[in-house]
Structure 1
Amino acid sequence: MTAIQSSSSANGAARFPVLVTGGAGYIGSHAVLALLDAGWPVVVIDNLVTGFEWAVPKAATFVKGDIADQPLVARLIAEHRIGAIIHFAGSVVVPESVADPLKYYENNTVKSRSLIESAVKGGVRHFIFSSTAATYGIPDSVPVAETARTQPINPYGWSKLMTERMLIDTAAAHPINFCALRYFNVAGADPQGRSGQSTAGATHLIKVAVEAAIGKRSHVSVYGTDYATPDGTGVRDYIHVSDLAAAHVDALEKLIEDPAASHIMNCGYGRGFSVLEVLDSVDRVTNLPVERRMEPRRPGDPDALVADNARILATLPWRPRRDDLDTIVADALAWERTLAERREA
């Protein structure tokens, strides 16, 4: 295993290697691309349970392994002189978390605790955590600010909130600061076609809809048409995965700039779209209507979940660049067609 050398930015500031957990997955691979594009050396650790080694750019160092393997993580931190960890590894399917809660508390909470301990023991000073809007549960008001009550309604949300709590307490006791980014609905794919959502059986609406658009699915189910929204279907805040990845780079630089401060911030655009508006966008982009089937509501789905993103806009230089629904859909569709071509090759 060859140690990665630190690089320097245009202004001469040293850029130490960053360890990205789950960097072979959907959001993680986009963050790796964003870090590399910004000149950061990157080491990826992923157990490849849901990720793909081909999704890791060749410019990054890839290690197959588990974040709970403390001797392995300690070796990576020491050999590569890791200065920050960006933590994506975990399980993310809400219904599965209800059916198998212990899996989620193991993968998302217990293993995160192990990773945080490895960071502290290895002298890593900065930690960025992939959190979720599921920490809010069903919000009392929309848009949702970070000061809102956190009352998750499923084990997935609780498993993430517990990790946030561990980071708060660890940062108070040790020389490490953190940023927990609470994602809203992540969608789209790298505009350059380098990565995208590739997991089989994905449940996210835009992924499902573009699969239907290319014939991989026969239809799209619309769960509930009687919500308290303009058209009766659920409203969500969709953020382009490349914009989300860019937020991680800005968050890293903020943690370095002020090592005494930690942050919890929403990642969203502050605007929601209903299920039917998303499907209308898919129809526009493809010029081919996708079949819609109306189904009963799923338990626990809020009417609307939209980010108040004032804090991230005030704290980071981050600004959305691809916050157009048709653009998000078009990038997701282009990636889906790329996957289809790979399967046929």
Structure 2
Amino acid sequence: MLSFGRARTQPRAVRPTTMGGIDFVDPKRKGNFVGKLFLAGSLIALCILTIKQSPHFNSASRFALREPGVTHVLVTGGAGYIGSHATLRLLRENYRVTIVDNLSRGNLGAVRVLQDLFPEPGRLQFIYADLGDAKSVNKIFSENKFDAVMHFAAVAYVGESTMDPLKYYHNITSNTLLVLESMAKHDVKTLIYSSTCATYGEPTKMPITEETTQVPINPYGKAKKMAEDIILDFSKTSEMAVMILRYFNVIGSDPEGRLGEAPRPELREQGRISGACFDAARGIIPGLKVRGTDYKTADGTCVRDYIDVTDLVDAHVKALQKAQPGKVGIYNVGTGKGSSVKEFVAACKKATGVDIKVDFLPRRPGDYAEVYSDPTKIKHELNWTAKHIDLKESLSIAWRWQKSHRDGYGIPNVIFGII
């Protein structure tokens, strides 16, 4: 990924230049043949040194091979909030992991944390790429031997999807198609697809089961359902093992404080309510905006099923372990319990110890009144049950990370000058 500048077409004044602590004279100077050789040798040596210092220099070939007893998982969106937590769990379980992320929503700092925790050759590699680029996606699959894909990469804000729907159909639906095509082409056998309860829309009956009719009411949910439909249609003529996990509102962070949620500042307005609560508690924003108080719920605010990210990741790993060739599993991942926004805010105030100012505003387009899951199927078939069901406890853990990471991960998303 080295970037070389375009050669100058106009002459320039001869002046000393410093490279790697070595001074040399412009090689264009007449008669400086020895200088040219020295420069060439210096550049070659510098390139070799740079490559050898890369943590993947000696381990890149391992990612290109299938090894007995080693499961290599591609985690798309692995630099993001949920994807990074999933990657951490996979690495702890001795999986080999490749992260692909364009860093539009993810954090390079999360990748750095993971690399520091698991520096051993052949454990983790990071590829900066956009899944909307068909050539890049095919190249990634052709140069690596994946056994499975956990597909998290997606824009995921309901409000934003109503304002920029085409972005969501491209990023979610089209990109998933490209990933699936490359999986089929390169014989990758297992797909764990990260879906959402937004595909159900606003059912008339609670709780939501996997048989509940999917009638999404916003572009985010519609784009996810389209991606699901593509996967399901393909599965009818394929021996690929497919697991689709429809999960609910994610909160919390790594209990050991290594990872957390750090959205870009410009996305805070569209982000999760937990992030907004923390921003208000830290004084980054003047208060919390609660949108909608006239829903047909007990206190007039939306009711949601809040799932801790640790439990969510556990469901993904269990799905990976239980996936079977030619079979499709579809599961709701939730606690089975709904909490209102007002109840959530009360828990956040207790977790942070801050009396957060709350402004009540009109409804946000695309929202629905009440959504919570029936997790019976995933309990029976995957032996999974949510364990972290206390809102205050999950928020307290996340709050500790927020307080100790006031600037997020503290590393800008810059790779060779690309943001």
Same fold flag (TM > 0.5):
yes
Hey, what's the Cα distance between the residues in 1 that align with 2:302 and 2:408?
Answer: 34
Q: Which moved more, 1:155-164 or 1:213-222?
A: 213-222
Shift of 1:124: 0.4
Matches within 5 A, 1:228-239: 228-239=296-307
Q: Which moved more, 1:118-127 or 1:276-285?
A: 276-285
Hey, what's the Cα distance between the residues in 2 that align with 1:246 and 1:15?
Answer: 19
Q: Which has the larger radius of gyration?
A: 2
> Deviations along 1:107-145, whole A, 9 cap, x unmatched?
111111011000000000100111111101111111111
Compared CA separation, residues 3 and 307, structure 1 to 2 (3 A)? farther
Contact 2:79 2:99 in 1 (8 A): yes
Contact 1:42 1:61 in 2 (8 A): yes
Contact 1:7 1:40 in 2 (8 A): no
How many pairs are equivalent? 339
**Segments of 4+ in structure 1 off by > 4 A?**
5-8, 341-345
SS where residue 62 of structure 2 aligns?
coil
Is structure 2 residue 193 aligned with structure 1 residue 129? yes
Match for 2:382 among 316, 322, 326?
Answer: 316
Shift of 1:3: 3.1
> Deviations along 1:257-290, whole A, 9 cap, x unmatched?
x223211111110001111111111121222211
> Deviations along 1:231-259, whole A, 9 cap, x unmatched?
2211110001111111111110111xx22
Match for 1:240 among 308, 311, 322?
Answer: 308
User: Which amino acid is 1:286 matched to?
Assistant: T
- Stretches of structure 2 that go unaligned for 5 or more consecutive residues are 1-55, 119-123, 412-419
Compared CA separation, residues 3 and 324, structure 1 to 2 (3 A)? farther
SS where residue 289 of structure 2 aligns?
strand
**Identical counterparts, % of pairs:** 39
Contact 2:336 2:375 in 1 (8 A): yes
Shift of 1:342: 5.7
Shift of 1:40: 0.7
What TM-score do you get using the length of structure 1 for normalisation?
0.93
In structure 2, the residue matched to 1:4 is: 62
Match for 1:15 among 67, 70, 77?
Answer: 70
In structure 2, the residue matched to 1:55 is: 110
Compared CA separation, residues 117 and 227, structure 1 to 2 (3 A)? same
Is structure 2 residue 95 aligned with structure 1 residue 31? no
Compared CA separation, residues 231 and 40, structure 1 to 2 (3 A)? same
Match for 1:42 among 74, 83, 97?
Answer: 97
Is structure 2 residue 290 aligned with structure 1 residue 222? yes
Match for 2:320 among 252, 264, 288?
Answer: 252
Is structure 2 residue 141 aligned with structure 1 residue 73? no
Shift of 1:300: 3.7
- Stretches of structure 1 that go unaligned for 5 or more consecutive residues are none
Matches within 5 A, 1:135-284: 135-200=199-264, 201-202=267-268, 203-255=271-323, 258-284=324-350
Is structure 2 residue 333 aligned with structure 1 residue 296? no
Compared CA separation, residues 3 and 269, structure 1 to 2 (3 A)? farther
Contact 1:211 1:336 in 2 (8 A): no
